[in-house]
Amino acid sequence: MSTTRLVGRMIRRAQEARKSADANLSTGLFNLACISAYQFVQLMIKARIIERTKTEPRAKGLMELLKALGEALDRREEVAKFLEELKEEIEFVEELYRRSRKDPSSCTREEVERLVMIVDSIVDFVEEMVERAGPA
């Protein structure tokens, strides 16, 4: 499969995960909403890394993935600043995601709403950075 097709497929899966997060949130399935929202942000970052490097990143957590994207786009300083500004929020996302996977019914509506807001802001930042970096 070509890199372009793979990236397109990953972005579509990410968008489906984001829609699933909203649907799960609205029906009270908070843990599933959390997992879907996390998949959304993770897939979007990975897709943009693959788009630039033609290889799948080894990084797992959001901070590592964002650093890898900064490397791929040659935007290390921008990413470092963003990570510093959102450090607590990213740690919250990671912790809530871990908790949602380990303990069903452990997430509240308020926590997941906060998580969704954070992952949306991360993806907005990623897309803005990709746009400013120009074509791959």
Per-residue model confidence (pLDDT) at position 106: 86
| CB 56 within 8 Å of CB 48 | no
Q: pLDDT category, 134, cuts 50, 70, 90?
A: confident
Here the CATH number for the domain that contains residue 119 is 1.20.120.330
Alpha helices in 86-108 (DSSP H): 87-102
> What's the whole-number average pLDDT of the chain?
95
Per-residue pLDDT averaged across 98-115, rounded? 92
Per-residue model confidence (pLDDT) at position 110: 97
What is the rounded CA–CA span in Å between residue 115 and residue 90? 9
- For the chain, how many structural domains are there in total? 1
Please report where in the chains the tokens 């908070």 appear, as a residue.
30
What is the tens place of the pLDDT at every residue in 60-71?
A: 899 999 999 999
Could you give the percent of the chain with pLDDT greater than 90? 88
Structural domain including 22 reads 3-133
User: Is it the case that residue 136 has pLDDT exceeding 80?
Assistant: no
